[in-house]
Structure 1
Amino acid sequence: MCICVNCRHLDNCTTYEFITKQHNGLLKLSNMIFHPTNTIINANINKKHGQVFIDWDLIECLSFVEKPGNWLK
Structure 2
Amino acid sequence: MCICINCKHMNLCKTYEFIEKQHNNNETHNKQNYFVPINTIIFVNINKQYLSIYLDWDIKECSSFVEQPGTWISSL
Fold match by TM threshold 0.5:
yes
Relative to the length of structure 2, the TM-score reads 0.90
| Count of aligned pairs | 73
The answer on 1:72 being equivalent to 2:35 is: no
Distance in 1 between residues matched to 2:8 and 2:56, nearest whole Å: 22
Matching residue of 1:59: 60
Distance in 2 between residues matched to 1:56 and 1:27, nearest whole Å: 17
Distance in 1 between residues matched to 2:56 and 2:11, nearest whole Å: 21
Matches within 5 A, 1:1-73: 1-31=1-31, 32-73=33-74
Structure 1: 4+ residue segments shifted above 3 A: none
Name the Cα RMSD after superposition. 1.0
Relative to the length of structure 1, the TM-score reads 0.93
More helix as a share of residues: 2
Q: What is the CA deviation profile of residues 7-61 of structure 1, one whole-angstrom value per residue up to 9, with x for unaligned ones?
A: 0001110000000001111122114421000000000000112210000000000
Distance in 2 between residues matched to 1:9 and 1:53, nearest whole Å: 27
Q: Report which stretch shifted further, 42-51 or 27-36.
A: 27-36
Q: Which runs of 5+ in 1 are unaligned?
A: none
